[in-house]
């Protein structure tokens, strides 16, 4: 392989940041951008003016509610590395977007609130990472507030997730008495003179643990004695550092700090980049794996987003490059359509900010203009390359509602909006057989998705609708040829619908209705929505 291309691939680091809501994930993301000099101060894109809101929260509703609703992609340079950060929604109602985004990452940073420990969404996201066997790094956040016992937190991680932990640093107290962190590798204490709300970079004061007198003046004798005792316990009873186990996802390096105040952020970034992996090989459904250093370009779609640009109202497909070098203007093969095409307007992303690029490499995330050609999971590659990537998950919706347009004069806008938002994968649309788009059933993972749908339909497409929530909670695909729901013996509350590809499905109130359908319709075969997540190793 061309050595310059190989060097570019080797310096790529692509990772997702995951957490339960309010653990500080988006704040940590911003501080990494701050230390990477991708932004000048927390809350504003470099060189841009305007309101201070999270850089990664680009959607208007995110800014209003203060939560992440959709994944964001940010790329920046730091000390010779080219870093691609995938900031994911923490709220469980938007978890499907997070699961898919994790398929594009080579490692994950798990953010945990020091006061709360492991929370439900953290647990779910960790399992997705573990299935793929990717490295998982832990950042225990909010040490500037009162926290749980640190040894208990580590024990909880080990027992809940079945992995080892290795603290890379150690906090010096917490809450109002928090004085910084102890770097276990350099055996130095990092403390700080001033606090400024975390808006700017923070310079640390370094002091070796052996300089007792100076250290007592920086953190107090009592805290110094406690630190010495705790680090002795760690050195004697903790897990042994093993980078091979880290790369296999069996040992999680743990870092402590306060993202809000920048404590420990720069040290975490430098240590993380030295330990995490360059782009990983990807499983090929046709057999074997695709190495990132394969000279031939290949990539897959893991996310689609409509209307990121308020002016142009365009649709962007996000590609994770799996191998080789992408070249602007070159023709590539789209496996699903069987056609050659050019990836139009290839862009590097910083949330909603974009720069058109001429090239990109394995590990990079690029956005391309999509007139409706691509779907989530699609593969694009060099012509003649037999490759299809697996592992993009599809989940069954858990909540359903009938959505009906109000203004018949806006039929086209209604159909366009519903179709485009459904193609992003956040919602799923189902139709009554022999019915049009005026009245559809929408299925979602979480109820907040209905609020997002309403907001986006009104703000992006100028369309309002009526919504009637349904009591149904289960959906099954019908795997029986020539199925006709009108002739089947179904419970009264069961609904027969079709998806956008014309496939038959049944929506049920519960398992009683599912069993009724199977018992009273000989030959009926029902399939669950598959969760297509596979371990890569």
- Could you please state the CATH topology (level 3) that the domain comprising 399-527 is classified under: Alpha-Beta Plaits (3.30.70)
> What are φ and ψ of residue 153, in 5° steps?
-60, -45
Whether 29 and 89 have beta carbons less than 8 Å apart is answered as no
Question: Within 10 A of 331 (CB to CB), how many other CB atoms are there?
Answer: 12
Between the CA of residue 205 and those of 174, 180, 202, what are the distances in Å? 18, 9, 10
- How far apart CA 118 and CA 94 sit, in angstroms, is 19
The two three-digit tokens of residue 334, written as one number: 């789209």
Answer CATH for 283-381 from 3.30.70.120, 3.20.20.70, 2.40.30.10, 1.10.3720.10: 2.40.30.10
Q: Which residue has the higher pLDDT, 534 or 303?
A: 303
The two three-digit tokens of residue 352, written as one number: 């909603």
- How far apart CA 85 and CA 529 sit, in angstroms, is 29
- Determine the pLDDT at residue 513: 95
- How far apart CA 176 and CA 173 sit, in angstroms, is 9
Confidence category of residue 531, pLDDT binned at 50, 70, 90: very low
Question: Within 10 A of 35 (CB to CB), how many other CB atoms are there?
Answer: 21
- Span 188-194, average pLDDT: 79
Question: Which segments of 471-515 are extended strands (E)?
Answer: 474-478, 495-498, 504-508
pLDDT digit string (tens) for 60-85? 544 444 444 345 678 888 999 999 98
Confidence category of residue 52, pLDDT binned at 50, 70, 90: very low
- Span 121-150, average pLDDT: 86
For 19-78, the DSSP string reads ESTTSSHHHHHHHHHHHTTSSSBTTB-TT--S----TT--SHHHHHHTS--S-EEEEEEE
- Determine the pLDDT at residue 1: 67
Q: Which residue has the higher pLDDT, 127 or 45?
A: 127
Whether 351 and 318 have beta carbons less than 8 Å apart is answered as no
Whether 257 and 263 have beta carbons less than 8 Å apart is answered as yes
Between the CA of residue 493 and those of 153, 204, 489, 499, 503, what are the distances in Å? 47, 64, 12, 19, 20
The two three-digit tokens of residue 69, written as one number: 């609703």
- Determine the pLDDT at residue 350: 64
- Determine the pLDDT at residue 418: 85
Whether 188 and 218 have beta carbons less than 8 Å apart is answered as no
Q: Which residue has the higher pLDDT, 97 or 441?
A: 441
Among 248-262, 283-297, 381-395, 405-419, the minimum mean pLDDT is found in 381-395
Whether 489 and 521 have beta carbons less than 8 Å apart is answered as yes
pLDDT digit string (tens) for 161-186? 889 999 999 999 999 888 889 999 99
- How far apart CA 25 and CA 242 sit, in angstroms, is 26
- Span 195-214, average pLDDT: 75
| CA 304 distance to own-chain centroid | 13
- Determine the pLDDT at residue 90: 43
Question: Which segments of 307-343 are extended strands (E)?
Answer: 315-323, 325-327, 331-334, 339-342
- Determine the pLDDT at residue 391: 64
pLDDT digit string (tens) for 503-526? 899 999 999 999 999 999 999 999
Between the CA of residue 36 and those of 153, 163, 180, 415, what are the distances in Å? 29, 30, 21, 42
93: pLDDT strictly greater than 60: no
Max avg pLDDT among 35-49, 431-445, 457-471: 457-471
- Span 290-314, average pLDDT: 79
- Determine the pLDDT at residue 62: 43
- Span 434-439, average pLDDT: 76
Name the 3-class secondary structure at 519: helix
- Span 302-318, average pLDDT: 70
The two three-digit tokens of residue 234, written as one number: 């760690």
Rounded to 10°, the helix 150-161/120-132 angle is 50
All structural domains of the chain with their residue ranges: 15-71+106-276, 283-381, 399-527
Beta strand 12-19 with 107-113 is parallel
Dihedral sign computed on CA atoms, order 420, 424, 426, 429:
positive
- Determine the pLDDT at residue 224: 92
- For the entire predicted model, the pTM comes to 0.78
- How far apart CA 28 and CA 473 sit, in angstroms, is 36
Confidence category of residue 7, pLDDT binned at 50, 70, 90: very high
537: pLDDT strictly greater than 50: no
- Determine the pLDDT at residue 345: 85
Confidence category of residue 198, pLDDT binned at 50, 70, 90: low
44: pLDDT strictly greater than 70: no
50: pLDDT strictly greater than 50: no
- Determine the pLDDT at residue 56: 43
CATH number, span 15-71+106-276: 3.40.50.300
Among 128-142, 211-225, 261-275, 303-317, the minimum mean pLDDT is found in 303-317
- How far apart CA 325 and CA 3 sit, in angstroms, is 12
Residue identified by tokens 């057999």 is 287
- How far apart CA 286 and CA 519 sit, in angstroms, is 38
For 262-310, the DSSP string reads TBTHHHHHHHHHHHS-SPPPEEBTTSSEE-TT-SS-EEEEEEEEE-SST
Rounded to 10°, the helix 448-461/411-423 angle is 130
466: pLDDT strictly greater than 70: yes
The two three-digit tokens of residue 367, written as one number: 């956005």
Among 140-144, 259-263, 328-332, the minimum mean pLDDT is found in 259-263
Confidence category of residue 199, pLDDT binned at 50, 70, 90: low
Confidence category of residue 492, pLDDT binned at 50, 70, 90: very high
- How far apart CA 176 and CA 494 sit, in angstroms, is 57
Which H or E element spans position 441? strand 439-444
Among 93-102, 136-145, 475-484, 501-510, the minimum mean pLDDT is found in 93-102
- Span 360-383, average pLDDT: 91
Whether 444 and 399 have beta carbons less than 8 Å apart is answered as yes
Among 114-123, 146-155, 466-475, the minimum mean pLDDT is found in 114-123
For 212-276, the DSSP string reads HHHHHHHH-HHHHHHHHHHHHHHHHHSPPP-HHHHHTTSEEEEEE-BTTTTBTHHHHHHHHHHHS
Q: Residue 246 pairs with which residues in a beta bridge?
A: none
pLDDT over 70 percentage in the chain: 84
- Span 351-378, average pLDDT: 85
17: pLDDT strictly greater than 80: yes
Q: Which of 349, 345, 341 is nearest to 312 (CA)?
A: 345
- Span 369-392, average pLDDT: 87
443: pLDDT strictly greater than 70: yes
- Determine the pLDDT at residue 470: 94
Beta strand 72-78 with 495-498 is unpaired
- Determine the pLDDT at residue 112: 94
CA dihedral 407, 411, 417, 420 (to 10 degrees): 160
């Amino acid at each position: 392989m061309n050595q310059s291309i190989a060097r570019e691939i080797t310096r790529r680091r692509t990772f997702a940041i995951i957490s339960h809501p309010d653990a500080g994930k988006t704040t940590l993301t911003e501080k990494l951008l701050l230390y990477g000099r991708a932004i000048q101060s927390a809350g504003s894109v470099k060189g841009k003016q305007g309101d201070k809101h999270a850089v990664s929260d680009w959607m208007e509703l995110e800014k209003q509610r203060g939560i992440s609703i959709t994944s964001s992609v940010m790329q920046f340079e730091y000390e010779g590395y080219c870093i691609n950060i995938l900031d994911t929604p923490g709220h469980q109602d938007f978890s499907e977007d997070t699961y898919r985004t994790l398929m594009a990452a080579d490692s994950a940073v798990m953010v945990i609130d020091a006061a709360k420990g492991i929370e439900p969404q953290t647990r779910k996201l960790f399992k997705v990472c573990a299935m793929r066997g990717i490295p998982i790094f832990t950042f225990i956040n909010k040490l500037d507030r009162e926290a749980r016992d640190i040894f208990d937190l580590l024990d909880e991680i080990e027992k809940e997730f079945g992995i080892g932990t290795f603290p890379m640093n150690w906090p010096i107290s917490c809450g109002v008495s928090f004085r910084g962190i102890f770097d276990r590798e350099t055996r130095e204490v990092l403390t700080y003179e001033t606090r400024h709300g975390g808006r700017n970079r923070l310079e640390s004061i370094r002091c070796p643990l052996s300089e007792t007198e100076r250290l007592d003046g920086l953190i107090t004798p009592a805290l110094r004695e406690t630190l010495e005792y705790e680090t002795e316990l760690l050195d004697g009873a903790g897990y042994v550092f093993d980078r091979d186990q880290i790369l296999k996802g069996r040992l999680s390096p743990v870092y402590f700090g306060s993202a809000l105040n920048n404590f420990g952020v720069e040290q975490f970034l430098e240590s993380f980049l030295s330990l995490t992996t360059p782009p990983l090989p990807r499983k090929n459904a046709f057999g074997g794996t695709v190495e990132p250093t394969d000279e031939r370009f290949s990539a897959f779609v893991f996310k689609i987003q409509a209307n990121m640009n308020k002016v142009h109202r365009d649709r962007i497909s996000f590609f994770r490059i799996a191998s080789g070098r992408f070249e602007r203007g070159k023709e590539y093969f789209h496996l699903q359509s069987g056609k050659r095409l050019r990836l139009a307007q290839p862009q590097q992303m910083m949330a909603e900010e974009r720069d058109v690029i001429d090239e990109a490499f394995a590990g990079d995330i690029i956005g391309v203009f999509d007139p409706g050609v691509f779907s989530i999971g699609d593969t694009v590659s060099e012509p003649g390359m037999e490759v299809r990537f697996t592992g993009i998950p599809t989940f069954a919706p858990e909540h359903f509602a009938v959505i009906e347009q109000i203004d018949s004069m806006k039929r086209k806008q209604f159909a366009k909006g519903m179709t485009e938002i459904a193609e992003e994968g956040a919602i799923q649309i189902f139709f009554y057989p022999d019915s049009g788009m005026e009245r559809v059933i929408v299925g979602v993972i979480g109820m907040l998705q209905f609020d997002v749908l309403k907001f986006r339909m009104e703000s992006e497409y100028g369309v309002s609708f009526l919504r009637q929530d349904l009591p149904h909670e289960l959906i099954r695909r019908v795997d029986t040829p020539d199925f006709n729901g009108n002739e089947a013996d179904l419970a009264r509350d069961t609904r027969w619908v079709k998806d956008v590809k014309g496939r038959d499905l049944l929506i049920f109130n519960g398992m009683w209705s599912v069993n009724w359908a199977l018992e009273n319709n000989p030959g009926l075969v029902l399939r669950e929505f598959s969760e297509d997540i596979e371990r890569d190793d």
